Structure 1
């Protein structure tokens, strides 16, 4: 799943007010239109533009995130050949619909506009509410996934340092695990009864301990402090790439299908659902590309960025899958769970990711609160902020205790939000734009209908997966 960066961009989008062709005006009340022209026609300070290279890196950096940890699991569920086709197909579709949003904004918006405001301009208030609602769903899914990851990283990091200072002299004959088959000890480790503590459980007490650490951070009045740590996201992605390459070179190629390993075609929807969230950048793509100094290069730069993202996902997902020496069904939806706790590279990855996710989480929670307040019939207040924070934390704790599968959460969230933000809304917006400009034909309308149907089928297939 793409990392949710510190930004107000997913919060209150600037309205997009611009005259439409053939005398049409934005579908809003007259008073609001007059006020909007009065406000948004005033001169604004020039924003510093960025080069194409920085723009490409910005898109790559914004998309990449925790989805990297689940990509190999998605490849395993789909099977390698189907997975490679799906990654290319979803990358192409997501790239195209993101570009469609840029084209719609070119005709009907501005460089500070975003999808909800475009929806209100072209489709009406209902579409704006839909856009906000499903942005809320994406952010809620991100909050839950991050909570599960914080819990996981904290649990194993504490255990790692505890064992370093204990008298435990156990000899570990492998760093690979297959938790699905052999529980916490793994198929290649000497079976040892792990002591069970009522005060330290991965799916019982640790999610609550995370609340003690994180909840105070959610109530900061100014979350801009946490934006200083955003560079850790790039560092984490680079480290994970190095991690997978090093492990792959160490293992070598293990591509032969083992006895008992079968692939069910409908399980490929696991990967397509995940990819809908993994390539999700549509809610802020207009602002990111609006900062590009050479606007005529937007199509080229966006394409290069998506190609880089696709290559990164392929390297991590397919590369890990091809080289993994155990049964491919052993691959976990968090690849770090396939490594024994004492593996040094894995321990470093968990420590790095723990710090990064803890600093990113308050930003994602802030954006979730902003979206929630937009939809609630209450004015923003300190008590409302605390109440929403408590609700978010309770929901995260419950999911981390009873459904701690980040792969499942990502695929459902991606399929639902993808249907709306990646397939349906860009298609509807572009069809409406073409209609207003007198360029809509039946085959164009049919083409965008097919894209929307693809998103609907992708969502429907999630309910027929063999878990």
Structure 2
């Protein structure tokens, strides 16, 4: 597809005809293996004009659960790790504070769009209208960053799930599953494992979690990246909601079986809470797609209420998974991994089911994310899309993913840095700048309002800065 054929919409980073094969319903259902579904969906915000006829409005209940399902991401697996790094009291306060702040800035975007945009408008278009071309480019660039982070995290998760799933079936008939189902692992402190269980050792130089398996994943994924019609993969998006529900049940069942194991009073440095705040900036990130989702609400006068309820549900979900796992985890809390499934022996039946379910879902979602990243990159450069260029970009993405999966396979670290950087731009800075400009144009800007929104931007900058002063 040439640049001339792209026909960009609203200032546009995306062509109308590129996304006609995908429905809005299938896009709204993406999750939760996503780094954050809103980051993935942001590339598709221009789709609305290409849908004919226009979709009917949806009820408040459908809108609420659409927002809930869209926000939920892979940070669900890392939430207990974030709670451990921040400490339970600070974590509970921080989750509530970040939820409220991200809810407010998302609502600000809805208010700005009401005065200066339209139902098919989105953040980049608002940036161009109110702030100029530089802000539009900035919005697109950091959406690209989030998509790249999503690709890397997906690759690490696929590698992890594939490795342990294969090992599970290989050892299925030679292990005592009753014993292993009671086993917890502390990969960072082997001697603290229950029942003296050792972490899984590499059984072959040709089958290593951080050496060969990331490259084997390329053999599976590369053919999928070259599908011309990626709408095939949207048929599996219902697994997103199923995965969230299963993980909730998984944590509640495990927590009930362990009982409560409260740690002593936490005296860790306060700056470590920035680990969780960086993650949460991405965990509550829906800002690039919120206008499109809420424009489908039949009760536009209830957008504020419905958005608040959706954020409340997300907050409760994160709190349940993170706090319950942390409170009930019977080993030293420092043993909690940034992927909670790594704390369980691979023979644990519930863990094996979770990995199989998530493996299938992430493998089907990854081609969508890579496709959006590739399309966004081609349009931003700009370049003429050819078969050769597509293959080169796919190979470049996969090479980067393999390298990170081999040498820095920490999804928690990737999520917190990506969240802090993209959060500064999309969650804190752009909504604040757009609101200030909107108030100025409407003659309602005061000094204290300017100071208030400047403080939001300063918080986002501080959140990013603190990521470099964490005790690992």
TM-score calculated relative to the size of structure 2:
0.89
Q: Secondary structure at the match of 1:180?
A: coil
Q: Do residues 399 (structure 1) and 431 (structure 2) align?
A: no
Q: Any idea what the Cα deviations from partners look like across 1:235-279, whole Å, max 9, x if unmatched?
A: 000000000000011111111328xx7422110000000000000
Q: Do residues 336 (structure 1) and 341 (structure 2) align?
A: yes
Q: Do residues 251 (structure 1) and 283 (structure 2) align?
A: no
Q: 1:431 to 1:202 in 2, by over 3 A?
A: same
Q: Any idea what the Cα deviations from partners look like across 1:68-123, whole Å, max 9, x if unmatched?
A: 10000000000000000000000001000000001111111111111111111111
- What does residue range 189-338 of structure 1 map to in structure 2 within 5 Å? 189-191=196-198, 194=201, 196-257=203-264, 262-338=267-343
Partner of 1:113: 121
Q: 1:81 to 1:168 in 2, by over 3 A?
A: closer
Q: How far 1:407 sits from its partner (Å)?
A: 0.3
Retained in 2: the 8 A contact 1:10–1:284?
A: yes
Partner of 1:60: 68
Task: Find the aligned partners of 1:14 and 1:148 in 2 and give their Cα distance.
Answer: 30
Partner of 2:382: 377
Retained in 2: the 8 A contact 1:95–1:303?
A: yes
Q: Secondary structure at the match of 2:127?
A: helix
Q: How far 1:371 sits from its partner (Å)?
A: 1.8
Q: 1:117 to 1:9 in 2, by over 3 A?
A: farther
Task: Find the aligned partners of 2:439 and 2:198 in 1 and give their Cα distance.
Answer: 65
Q: How far 1:193 sits from its partner (Å)?
A: 8.7
Task: Find the aligned partners of 1:206 and 1:335 in 2 and give their Cα distance.
Answer: 20
Task: Find the aligned partners of 1:300 and 1:130 in 2 and give their Cα distance.
Answer: 30
Q: Any idea what the Cα deviations from partners look like across 1:396-431, whole Å, max 9, x if unmatched?
A: 000000000000000000000000000000000111
TM-score calculated relative to the size of structure 1:
0.90
Task: Find the aligned partners of 1:229 and 1:314 in 2 and give their Cα distance.
Answer: 27
- What does residue range 82-93 of structure 1 map to in structure 2 within 5 Å? 82-93=90-101
Partner of 2:452: 447
Task: Find the aligned partners of 1:170 and 1:319 in 2 and give their Cα distance.
Answer: 24
Q: Do residues 10 (structure 1) and 42 (structure 2) align?
A: yes
Partner of 1:132: 140
When the two chains are superposed, the root-mean-square deviation of aligned CA atoms in Å is: 2.4
Q: How far 1:154 sits from its partner (Å)?
A: 0.3
Q: How far 1:188 sits from its partner (Å)?
A: 3.4
Task: Find the aligned partners of 2:98 and 2:389 in 1 and give their Cα distance.
Answer: 39
Q: 1:461 to 1:167 in 2, by over 3 A?
A: closer
Give 1:387's match in structure 2, choosing from 378, 385, 392: 392
Q: Any idea what the Cα deviations from partners look like across 1:337-385, whole Å, max 9, x if unmatched?
A: 0001111000000000000111111111111112212221312222222
Q: Secondary structure at the match of 1:257?
A: coil
Q: Secondary structure at the match of 1:179?
A: coil
Task: Find the aligned partners of 2:203 and 2:197 in 1 and give their Cα distance.
Answer: 18
Task: Find the aligned partners of 1:173 and 1:96 in 2 and give their Cα distance.
Answer: 43
Partner of 2:464: 459
Retained in 1: the 8 A contact 2:79–2:321?
A: yes
Task: Find the aligned partners of 2:466 and 2:177 in 1 and give their Cα distance.
Answer: 48
Retained in 2: the 8 A contact 1:5–1:363?
A: no
Compare CA radii of gyration and give the structure with the larger one.
Answer: 1
Q: How far 1:394 sits from its partner (Å)?
A: 0.5
Q: Secondary structure at the match of 2:196?
A: coil
Q: Secondary structure at the match of 1:210?
A: helix
Q: Do residues 419 (structure 1) and 424 (structure 2) align?
A: yes
Could you tell which deviates more after superposition, 173-182 or 64-73?
A: 173-182
Q: Do residues 51 (structure 1) and 63 (structure 2) align?
A: no
Could you tell which deviates more after superposition, 189-198 or 172-181?
A: 189-198
Partner of 2:86: 78
Q: Secondary structure at the match of 1:11?
A: helix
Task: Find the aligned partners of 1:202 and 1:219 in 2 and give their Cα distance.
Answer: 26
Retained in 2: the 8 A contact 1:13–1:116?
A: no
Q: How far 1:386 sits from its partner (Å)?
A: 1.6
Q: 1:47 to 1:257 in 2, by over 3 A?
A: same
Task: Find the aligned partners of 1:355 and 1:98 in 2 and give their Cα distance.
Answer: 32
Retained in 2: the 8 A contact 1:254–1:322?
A: yes
Could you tell which deviates more after superposition, 371-380 or 298-307?
A: 371-380
Task: Find the aligned partners of 1:301 and 1:179 in 2 and give their Cα distance.
Answer: 42
Show structure 1 runs of 5+ residues with no match.
17-39
Q: How many residues align?
A: 440
Task: Find the aligned partners of 2:332 and 2:175 in 1 and give their Cα distance.
Answer: 33
Retained in 1: the 8 A contact 2:186–2:343?
A: yes
Retained in 1: the 8 A contact 2:429–2:460?
A: yes
